[in-house]
Chains A and B, each alone.
Chain A
Amino acid sequence: MALEAGYPEIRTVGIDGMLVSFGDRLSEPANRAALAFRAEVERESWDGVEESASSLVSCYLRFDPLYLRHADLAAKLRGLIESRDWMQAPLPGGRRLHRIPTVYGGALAPQFGEAAAAAGLSEREALDSLSGARVRVTALGFAPGQPYLGELPECWDIPRQQALTPQVQPGALVLAIRQFVLFTVQAQTGWRHVGQTAAKLVRLGEARPFLLAPGDEVTFPSVSEEVFARMQGDAEGGASWEALA
């Protein structure tokens, strides 16, 4: 897939940040490029770079601008940008595939039917589509460890709702514009609440305090409310994972 004109683009963030962007809207290749590029930045671990992160379509670097000059860092980044076609780069190693059992619809996820209708699907079709989808953690944000996941099939390009849902519980799986968000906190949202999970995404005090990392992949297989009730007492909330390449 061709890059949009003007990309990749290097911009400054404040006085101590630099951002390499691979597009101005979310797409699979731009997200792939951001993940792969950040992995390479981490591997390079240039002297003076203090932190890196990927967002939906960019890689961010925080550095000490009095130690590492902007021009020098920009030159390093340009060299890395030109070293390969990032939009087709393989995703980095060390990623995981997570399986997070989910209750779709019913009292636990009351907007499932509404979302199915908005997507032009029957509830049966919607259930098959969502529980069969394998999505990527495109970014973490809004709250610590809270993933944006995409992309869902085209039929799920449904807008956010007009009114905000005043409160969804942690573990709520919400949907809009071909993406899921899986809430780690109680929050209000304009996205439709289609599923409920019991997975614990934040585990402070453990070696890996956040279950999901950018680039990980997730499936949300459907379970009954009875199975869900049993999983809630489980330390992993029913979730399991395996290593990807």
Chain B
Amino acid sequence: MSRALIVHRAGPAMTLQDMGRPGWIAYGLSRGGAMDRLALEEGAALLGTRPGVALEMAGVGGLFEASEEMRIALTGAPMRATLDGQPLLWQASHLLPAGARLEIGPALSGAYGYLHVGGGFAEKEILGAQSAHLTAGLGAPVRAGARLAVGPDKGGETGRKLAVAERFSGGVLRVVESLQTGLFPEEQRRRFGEEAFVRDMRANRMGVKLTPEGAGYGVEGGLSVVSEVIAPGDIQVTGDGAPFVLMADCQTTGGYPRLATVIPADLPCVAQAPAGARLSFRWISLDAALEAEAAYRKEIAELPRRIAPLIRDPADVPDLLSLKLVSGFSSGDHHDH
């Protein structure tokens, strides 16, 4: 049998995701790809590879088995994970022996967990990517019974961990003005940067609905604007007055007016906000946004240097028995900062 990850049980919204398919907007196909792109980068850093394809698990994981020994990394929303019943640390890489049972339960915080395999998944590409883009009819959810092909792994370390940016419980999101910000009354633009929002139950790979604390938002007089290009991070306001942040699988064009755009560096925080999380927005200038983008790219480039061994070599530890060797999996939301 070829190298594969066998899926014995799968949560309802589990898909393969990579960096998506740029270049098809003119044909009405949005880029798609992982909801939390930073989690893809973190997995790549843990495995010492380039960002590739991971299994994106929305809310809950599943039960997995490796056809042969393989390296794995777990990133994104911390989930309760065990290997043959033994707890596994999240934000870390591990060795998955052939036949061992990897069980990944519900998210302890955040929304999307990612399972990476050494060598990457090697399923069929559609238009140059393995990402499922369900609203566009590309690919399909991963179901129980699937055998996901895994590519050859050049090998490398396991038992590594990574302290990651806290982004699993909401927070402050930086926004820039969008092409239609000016259509909204001054009072709304001001209020948008001051009040808090709650992440609604309604959220998926297309977008995330936010319930405002106070009055709704909208453009006076039901203005009809010509359909215009949409970019991930755009915040559109539909008839119900609630802002809706458009995400990876958004449409490429839309007629609802857009109030602002969340900067790319803060999109992982939107993706990972669980239902009920509090989010707020802060307007920043385009120059400040470009500085934030530069800092974000620098942070990604430096991820490999932040990888640390999970446990020290016992030979170097004189009082081994008095130490807590592994921490963080008891609560799952503690990242050893």
Contacts and interface: CB of A to CB of B under 8 A. Distances in A.
Interface in A140-182: 140-146
A14 B227 contact: no
9 contacts: A14-B233, A15-B263, A25-B226, A58-B229, A62-B25, A141-B227, A142-B253, A143-B136, A144-B24
A87 interface: no
Nearest to A209: B127
Contacts of B294: 66
A12 B179 contact: yes
Nearest to A205: B126
Given A24-B225, A56-B253, A205-B126, 6 more contacts: A11-B179, A16-B264, A19-B228, A19-B229, A38-B26, A58-B229
B28 A70 contact: no
By CB atoms of chain A within 10 A, which of B226, B233, B294, B297 has the most?
A: B226
A139 interface: yes
Contacts of B225: 24
Contacts of A65: 290, 293
Given A70-B286, A210-B27, A13 B179 contact: yes
Contacts of A184: 137
By CB atoms of chain A within 10 A, which of B136, B227, B234, B289 has the most?
A: B227
B253 A15 contact: no
A50 B137 contact: no
Interface of B: 22-29, 126-127, 135-138, 176-179, 225-229, 231-234, 251-253, 261, 263-264, 286, 289-290, 293-294, 297
Given A11-B179, A15-B290, A144-B27, A66 B253 contact: no
By CB atoms of chain B within 10 A, which of A14, A19, A145 has the most?
A: A14
Contact of B23 (A11, A51, A57): A51
A66 B286 CA distance: 12
A46 B215 CA distance: 44
Smallest CB-CB A-B distances: 5 pairs: A141-B253, A53-B26, A144-B29, A140-B28, A53-B25
A140 B26 contact: yes
A68 B335 CA distance: 37
Contacts of B293: 15, 65-66
Given A12-B179, A13-B261, A143 B25 contact: no
B289 to A, nearest CB: 5
Interface residues of A, number: 45
B154 to A, nearest CB: 29
A142 B225 CA distance: 16
B228 A55 contact: yes
A81 interface: no
A185 interface: yes
Nearest to B133: A144
Nearest to A148: B227
A54 interface: yes
Contacts of A86: none
A220 interface: no
A57 B252 contact: no
Contact of A15 (B26, B29, B176, B229): B176
Contacts of A58: 228-229
B26 A13 contact: no
Nearest to B25: A53
A56 B226 contact: yes
Contact of B26 (A14, A17, A54, A56): A54
A141 B229 CA distance: 9
A20 B40 CA distance: 33
Contact of B28 (A13, A60, A143): A143
A21 B23 CA distance: 20
Nearest to A142: B251
A144 B31 CA distance: 11
A102 B290 CA distance: 50
Given A66-B294, A143-B137, A204 B127 contact: yes
B221 to A, nearest CB: 15
B132 to A, nearest CB: 13
Contact of B176 (A14, A38, A202): A14
Interface string A40-68: 00000000001111111110101001100
A141 B234 contact: no
Contacts of A119: none
A195 interface: no
A213 B137 contact: no
Contacts of B227: 55-56, 139, 141
A26 B226 contact: yes
B54 to A, nearest CB: 22
A55 B23 CA distance: 14
